[in-house]
Amino acid sequence: MVRLAPSILSADFASLGDDITTVTPQADWLHVDVMDGHFVPNLTIGPPVVKSIRHHTRLPLDCHLMMTNPGEYLGSFREAGADRCSVHVEVGDTAKLCAQMRDLGLGVGLAVNPETPFEAVEPWLGHIDLLLVMTVHPGFGGQRFMAEVVPKVAAARAAIAAGGHDVLIEVDGGIDAETVGEVARAGAEVFVAGNAIFGHDDPVAAAAELRRVAEAATA
């Protein structure tokens, strides 16, 4: 089953509620990119914005925490209304962070950067609900998809099947109508897209086209 998660990073923050309403007919989740200016060289938003969005939509809020110290904020994100969070494997403390997310009632996500090998996340497949495979270097929207990451998606799909794990594979970065088919065939099921949706004159039509291509690739 294909799930689309529009990334609000590419929305207009001055009309965020309207932009969310616009994409809702084609959105399964909303992807919320939290950047701390430290783990990545960019700053975005935090729990207060998640709280405002929560009052505006029933869509599951999928919070991608590009932060050095996510453990200090997980409770705030949960209180604000996040449904699931993904922390980066590169920050370490993975066992503790996964347990913390589980205890808070959050969906447990683990994100992995393009240069980090699959072996870094493999031991955690039995402990998580979502593996977020970055297909760009995190930090900015609108970057070019890194096709060299596709084998990692395929390796994750094979390991999840072999281990009988219940883990969704999400891909994030440079996903558009040209690239979505390749990652869908490799085993991704949740597709984050910012620029390809909100950068389009007709965001709903763009999202519908992404869904159509992803579904066709896996039919």
- Catalytic residue numbers? 33, 172
For Zn ion, give the closer residue by CB, 19 or 33: 33
Q: How many residues bind ligand DX5, per CB under 6 A?
A: 22
Q: Does 172 bind ligand DX5 (CB under 6 A)?
A: yes
CB 104 within 8 A of CB 128: no
Instruction: Enter the tokens of residue 204.
Output: 């709903």
Stretch in the footprint of Zn ion (CB under 5 A) among 62-70, 90-98, 120-128, 205-213: 62-70
Cα distances (angstroms) measured from residue 1 to each of 4, 54, 59, 186, 216: 10, 25, 17, 14, 11
We find the least distance from the C-beta atom of residue 164 to Zn ion, in angstroms, to be 28
Q: Map residues 24-43 to x or -, x wherever contact with Zn ion holds by CB under 5 A.
A: ---------x----------
- Residue of the chain from 3, 64, 84, 88 that contacts Zn ion (CB under 5 A): 64
196 φ/ψ angles, rounded to the nearest 5 degrees = -65, -20
Q: Does 170 bind Zn ion (CB under 5 A)?
A: no
For ligand DX5, give the closer residue by CB, 121 or 196: 196
Strand partners, 191: 4, 171
Burial class from Cβ neighbours inside 10 Å (0-12, 13-18, 19+) for residue 211 reads middle
For ligand DX5, give the closer residue by CB, 90 or 165: 90
Q: Does 84 bind ligand DX5 (CB under 6 A)?
A: no
Instruction: Enter the tokens of residue 141.
Output: 């929207």
For Zn ion, give the closer residue by CB, 64 or 78: 64
Q: Does 157 bind ligand DX5 (CB under 6 A)?
A: no
Q: Quick one: what does residue 94 bind among Zn ion, ligand DX5, none, with the CB cut-off 5 to 8 Å set by partner type?
A: none
Stretch in the footprint of ligand DX5 (CB under 6 A) among 12-20, 52-60, 159-167, 168-176: 168-176
Residues that bind ligand DX5 (CB under 6 A): 7, 9-10, 31, 33, 64, 136, 138-143, 172-175, 192-196
